[in-house]
Amino acid sequence: MLRTLAAVTALGLAGALAACGGGDDDATVKDSAAAVIQVGSVYEPQNLDNTAGGGQGVTEALNGNVYEGLFKLTDTGTVEPLLAKEQKVSDDGLTYTFTLRDGVKFHSGKALTSADVKASIERVTAENSKSARKSNLAVIKTITTPDDATVVVQLSARSISFVYNLSYIWIVNAAAKDLTTTADGTGPYKLGEWKRGSTLSLTKFDGYWGTPAKNAGVVFHYFTDATALNNALLTNAVDVVTSEQSPDALAQFTSNTAYKVNNGKGTTKLLLAFNDKVAPFDKPAVRQAISAAIDDKKLLTSIWGDYGTPIGSMVPPTDPWYEDLTSVNAYDPAVAKQKLAEAGLPNGFSFTLDTPSYDPHPTAATFIKSELAKVGVTVNINTITADEWYTKVYQKRDFQATMQEHVNDRDVVWYGDPDFYWGYSNPQVTAWIKQAEEARTTDEQTALLKQANKQIAQDAASDWLYLYPQIVVASSKLSGYPLNGLNAQFFAYDIVKN
Amino acid sequence: MLSYLLRRTAILIGSLVLAAVALFVLLRLLPGDPANALLPVGATPEQIEAARRELGTDASLPAQFLTWLHDVVTLDLGKSLISTLPVGPEITARLPVTVPLTLAAFVLAVLIAVPVGVLAAARAGRWYGPVLNAVAQLGIAVPAFWVGLLLITAFALRLRILPAGGFPPDGWGDPGTAIESLVLPVVTVALVMSASLIRYVRSATLGVLGADYLRTARALGSSPAQAFWRHGLRNAAVPVIAVLAMELATTFLGAVVVESVFALPGLGSLLVRGISQHDYPVVQGVMLVSTATVLVVGFLGDLAQRLVDPRLRQRGAS
């Protein structure tokens, strides 16, 4: 009886949403184009503005779905034109001319013009912007709009990742007032309703310029408890979970043909980050010793079972400059002891490891402590909150060693910044990374970043413990969902429910 | 009675002000800054400073407190630092989940605890009296989230007759689904709450059953049941009412855990999120509302006790 009631309600809801999106009252749930995809996630947006601290959740829900950039980062890691139809780069690499696609409309009905593009980029570089991309766009000197369909950007230095960086920048309606609770983009969906603490719905946008979404809409359901999220999937309250955070729950899905567990390629690295500026970690030999003393593979298995990937450096496999470097400073306690002796610390030493209080850091810290004890190094685990990490470690640099997950793709370039929190300073690496950014071709860029990546691995700038798995679990009736979750995005428009 | 009422109201207001100060100070003692929740790794020092200025967390603590107090007195709970939305409407939007959950669980708990407690006391000599008591003991030891998980496993995952969690996007606009979503959480909270209540009811009843006036009533011809019903229950109710007021408050706060297990968009989840992000206005707002509720319920409990027990009224008047 209650099941019937729930089913009727679900039908009603789907019908209502389909009606909002397509105005097609006769749509039936059997028709996959009328299906509303129910997505489960633990990342609720903090607000809806990605320049005002919206967080990972806002990217997941809105990037590519509601908002589009001039370019897009595909699920496989390539950058493709989206709202830009054409781009021309001057010979000196300093002037970019973008021609906008015709017939693009915002959800409010206004046509996209070059003024919107200019305003959108300026939102990210504005003084009060909280965007992580702000520093990447510091190379922009001027933005001009000779006509409605043309945007000319003048750079102060060559920047080969400029186009890639533009894929993070949402083109918003310049006239839109409050984007923290409303949205006005050009994507295949418009924002439905955001029930804070519960759901966020998107409905198909009929005036979309490109290939329309293959479903009538998406509802993101937000959970604070991973078990509650998995239970929702088990009871068909959601169709897909964007990112499983623990392997414990996976067995119930792998053993059930009604579900598909997808092992995608992640970009999140778990780092044991040393403060490379302070003793004893200012000596590469000490860092190499620590790296060699920890059995990363065993750690990965103890936390993720058969999932995840050992990684020898900062570059994840989806970055174009990836190289398997797991053999550099590989696990070997004998080498570790020898390196310690080389560094003048044959009897070991002790250090404090600032460990964020949330999973998997405490588990990993305990493992590291026991591994390092075997080579005579004593670890004092100091548990801190995420917030303390930000203040103590990131801002004040008041630490010896810490653990942190670094989620972004293409973030090896941080090792070129001697002022970054881990304080790694190798002029050669800094120069390579700078040259890579100013490279003329992507081949040149790739070659330089490969070199830099190899060098940081040899210097053991940090110890890269492992690469997180990116696990999407979905009902087997679902297809067309993204697998790799790069930059935390989750394109919903190709999802089909049979 | 009037002077008591005035005195008790003065205490209520005094406690509220003290609670507000304590809340503010305790929150500021936590290390960290809300600007951190807004900024990603890679933020420049300038971005961090700009964010602190914007949020007002660079002002002195007394200045921040006065601003907040002024706002509270004018019934403005401020704006969330993270979502930039006003806190007042944010809290009212969560009440349709938390209030029905708390009240329904409370009523259900009383409906379970009173008969079971009385029975456990009245039949202390039979085999099931002690058994009921032991079951209640066990209930106290079991955490609410575990009961919740068991109920989800049984009714949502195995029998599939109730949802495992969530609340309909339309809220009470979709009453069938809304009620369905609240069944398991209400039962969870009620079971845990009734366990401790049973013990109070039992001991209060035991205390009354041996009383002289019941013996007298029976000597005057009442049956044991009549005597208890007419004279015992009312006497046993006095200590239980005091406990009930406290229990209602605990339920309200206990909903935090249960809401998370059942993915309910109530005050609890708002609070948890606010704390993890150092969203001071949200945490202060939710805590102030909950503290006020607890204090007001305690106040009403005290008044109710006086209405039930004339002896307390007389003592209060003297």
**pLDDT score of B229:** 78
Surface of B (278-317) touching A: CB under 8 A: 278
Query: What is the percent of chain A where pLDDT is above 70?
Result: 94
**pLDDT score of A106:** 97
The yes-or-no verdict on residue A6 having pLDDT over 60 is no
Q: Closest Cα partner for A233 from A214, A261, A213?
A: A261
Nearest CA in chain B to A197: B265
Q: How far apart are CA A272 and CA A284, in angstroms?
A: 14
Which residues in A lie closer than 8 A to residue B30 (C-beta atoms)?
387
Nearest chain B Cα distance for residue A348, angstroms: 32
Q: How far apart are CA A418 and CA A481, in angstroms?
A: 39
Interchain pair B270, A197: CB under 8 A: yes
Under the banding of pLDDT at 50, 70 and 90, the label for residue A24 is very low
Which residues in A lie closer than 8 A to residue B50 (C-beta atoms)?
127-128
Name the residue facing A5 among B85, B90, B176 (closest C-beta).
B176
Q: What are phi and psi of A167, to 5 degrees?
A: -70, -15
A463 contacts: CB under 8 Å, gap ≥ 6 = A271, A272, A273, A274, A287, A290, A291, A294, A296, A329
User: Which range (A15-29, B255-269, B303-317) has the least confidence?
Assistant: A15-29
Q: How many CB atoms lie within 10 A of CB B195?
A: 22
**pLDDT score of A428:** 97
Interchain pair A53, B37: CB under 8 A: yes
For every residue of B205-235, DSSP letters joined together read: HHHHHT-HHHHHHHHTT--HHHHIIIIIHHH
Q: Closest Cα partner for A385 from A377, A376, A394?
A: A394
Strands A463-467, A95-100: pairing is: unpaired
Give the range with max mean pLDDT: A14-23, A406-415, A431-440, B237-246: A431-440
DSSP one-letter code for A192:
E
Under the banding of pLDDT at 50, 70 and 90, the label for residue A9 is very low
Q: How far apart are CA B144 and CA B105, in angstroms?
A: 12
Interchain pair A6, B168: CB under 8 A: no
Nearest CA in chain B to A394: B41
Cβ contact A160:A65 at 8 Å = no
Which residues in B lie closer than 8 A to residue A229 (C-beta atoms)?
263
The yes-or-no verdict on residue A453 having pLDDT over 70 is yes
**pLDDT score of A88:** 95
Judged by a CB distance cut-off of 8 A, whether residue B157 touches chain A is yes
Which residues in B lie closer than 8 A to residue A2 (C-beta atoms)?
161-162, 180
Name the residue facing A387 among B36, B83, B157 (closest C-beta).
B36
Under the banding of pLDDT at 50, 70 and 90, the label for residue A400 is very high
Residue labelled with tokens 């004092």: A380
Surface of B (29-88) touching A: CB under 8 A: 30-33, 36-45, 47-48, 50-51, 54, 82-85
Nearest chain B Cα distance for residue A36, angstroms: 14
**pLDDT score of B315:** 57
Interchain pair A231, B90: CB under 8 A: no
Under the banding of pLDDT at 50, 70 and 90, the label for residue A31 is low
When pLDDT is averaged across residues A440-462 and rounded to a whole number, the result is: 96
pTM: 0.83
User: Which range (A12-16, A202-206, A416-420, B267-271) has the least confidence?
Assistant: A12-16
pLDDT 10s digits, A358-373: 888 999 999 999 999 9
Across the strands, what pairs with A40? A221, A241
Interchain pair B43, A386: CB under 8 A: no
When pLDDT is averaged across residues A333-359 and rounded to a whole number, the result is: 94
Q: Closest Cα partner for A384 from A404, A408, A370, A412?
A: A404
**pLDDT score of B294:** 82
Which residues in A lie closer than 8 A to residue B160 (C-beta atoms)?
3, 235
pLDDT 10s digits, B114-157: 888 888 888 777 887 778 888 888 888 888 888 998 999 899 88
> Between A469 and B25, whose confidence is greater?
A469
The yes-or-no verdict on residue A8 having pLDDT over 50 is no
Q: What is the average pLDDT score of chain B?
A: 83
Interchain pair A391, B43: CB under 8 A: no
What is the ipTM metric for this complex? 0.78
The yes-or-no verdict on residue A15 having pLDDT over 70 is no
Interchain pair B160, A235: CB under 8 A: yes
Nearest chain A Cα distance for residue B156, angstroms: 7
Interchain pair B167, A9: CB under 8 A: no
The yes-or-no verdict on residue A17 having pLDDT over 60 is no
**pLDDT score of A167:** 92
Query: What is the percent of chain B where pLDDT is above 90?
Result: 9
> Between B1 and B273, whose confidence is greater?
B273
Name the residue facing B44 among A135, A180, A391 (closest C-beta).
A135
Number of A to B CB contacts under 8 A, please give it.
Answer: 155
Structure tokens at B100: 């029905």
Contacts of B311-314 with C-beta under 8 Å, sequence gap 24+, read B312/B238, B313/B1
Which residues in A lie closer than 8 A to residue B278 (C-beta atoms)?
387
Which residues in A lie closer than 8 A to residue B181 (C-beta atoms)?
none
Judged by a CB distance cut-off of 8 A, whether residue B163 touches chain A is yes
**pLDDT score of A156:** 95
Cα pseudo-dihedral B255, B260, B266, B271, rounded to 10: 90
Q: Which of A221, A225, A252, A395 to mutate to test the interface with B (most CBs of B within 10 A)?
A: A225
Nearest chain A Cα distance for residue B274, angstroms: 10
User: Which range (A45-54, A77-86, A93-102) has the least confidence?
Assistant: A45-54
Structure tokens at A359: 């999973």
**pLDDT score of B248:** 81
Nearest CA in chain B to A45: B83
pLDDT 10s digits, B50-109: 878 877 777 788 888 888 778 777 778 888 887 778 888 889 989 999 999 999 999 999
Which residues in A lie closer than 8 A to residue B262 (C-beta atoms)?
228
Q: What is the average pLDDT score of chain A?
A: 89
**pLDDT score of A21:** 38
pLDDT 10s digits, A68-88: 999 999 988 889 999 999 999
The yes-or-no verdict on residue A196 having pLDDT over 60 is yes
SS3 A471: strand
Q: Which of B84, B155, B282 to mutate to test the interface with A (most CBs of A within 10 A)?
A: B84
pLDDT 10s digits, A213-271: 999 999 999 988 888 899 999 999 999 999 888 787 888 898 899 999 998 888 899 99
